[in-house]
Amino acid sequence: MRWRKKIGQIEVIMDRRLMQDDNRGLEQGVHDNKITANLFRILLEKRTVVNMEEEKKSISYPSLLSHITSSFLNHPVFTMTEKVPVPTLQLLGEFSPLLSSLPCDIHLLNLRTIQSKVDGKHSDEAALILHRKGFDCRFSSRNTGLLCSTTQGKILIQKLFNTFTVASLIPSSLSLMHLPPDARNVSEINLSPMEISTFRIQLR
């Protein structure tokens, strides 16, 4: 590890050589491991208040800015197109399904269609999976460039989508195989910190 300090910033250069597994399985010799380049980024932040009792705890939450930075690095946006033999097909210049950005502490894990159990085709429902991340409020989010805010884990469904109307939203298990006993159509989502929730949603 090699450290290099600049005026007004700290640049960290980590020179490590990690080995990549060859997926050969147990009790088999490793013959084709290869050196893999790694790039590490370190975020330096300052706490507004330091509580010594909190420092002694083994579990703590990162800051809101670190959650956003981690999501940006680990979940990049990939544009994928399909080659369709229709010469008149044109791609949209832009597509904004959401009316506004999600709260900073809520991450959209997945929004996918659900396969129908009858004919093997897709049903008219989709799976909406959300994760609310817990963060430490002692790290200030002012002047950090965050363009979103927090809503205490509440999301109004009717104000979520731009070009779609939510016909129904029913809580479900994470596997989408079971519904809670008191499952009903809801108009507002309430998530607790570090909670992952799944919903069956119908869009019109």
Looking at residues 110-135, what average pLDDT do you find?
A: 85
What pLDDT is attached to residue 10? Answer: 44
Residue 53's φ and ψ, nearest 5 degrees, are -65, -40
> CA–CA distance from 136 to each of 29, 112, 141 (Å)?
45, 31, 10
What pLDDT, on a 0 to 100 scale, did the predictor assign at position 17?
43
Pick from 139, 83, 134, 73: which is nearest to 106 by CA? 134
Find out whether 197 and 191 touch, Cβ atoms under 8 Å: yes
Over residues 66-115, the pLDDT tens digits come to: 888 888 888 887 777 767 666 666 777 777 888 888 898 999 999 988 88
Q: What is the pLDDT of residues 25-79, one digit of tens each?
A: 666 666 666 777 788 888 888 877 766 666 666 667 888 888 888 888 888 877 7
Q: How confident is the model at residue 171 (pLDDT cuts 50, 70, 90)?
A: very high
DSSP string, 114-167: EE-TTTSSEEEEEEEEEEEPP--TTB--TTS-------TTEEEGGGTBSS--EE
Rounded CA gap, 39 and 73, in Å?
11
User: What pTM value is reported for the model?
Assistant: 0.71
CA nearest to 167, candidates 107, 106, 126: 126
**Res. 13 pLDDT band, cuts 50 70 90:** very low
pLDDT of residue 189: 92
Q: 5 versus 89: which is more confidently predicted?
A: 89
Identify the CA nearest to 64 among candidates 132, 153, 136, 130: 136
Q: Average pLDDT of the chain? A: 78
Residue 9 forms beta bridges with which residues? Answer: 6
Rounded Cα gap, residues 159 and 169, in angstroms? 13
Q: Is the pLDDT of residue 146 over 90?
A: no
CATH number corresponding to 106-203: 2.60.40.1360
Cα(57)–Cα(51) distance, integer angstroms: 11
Higher pLDDT, 16 or 56: 56
User: In angstroms, rounded to a whole number, what is the distance separating the alpha carbons of residues 197 and 199?
Assistant: 7
Reply yes or no on whether the pLDDT at 157 is more than 70. Answer: yes
Structural domain boundaries of the chain? 106-203
Whole-number percent of the chain with pLDDT over 90: 16
Please tell me the distance from the alpha carbon of residue 198 to that of residue 128, in angstroms, as a whole number: 6
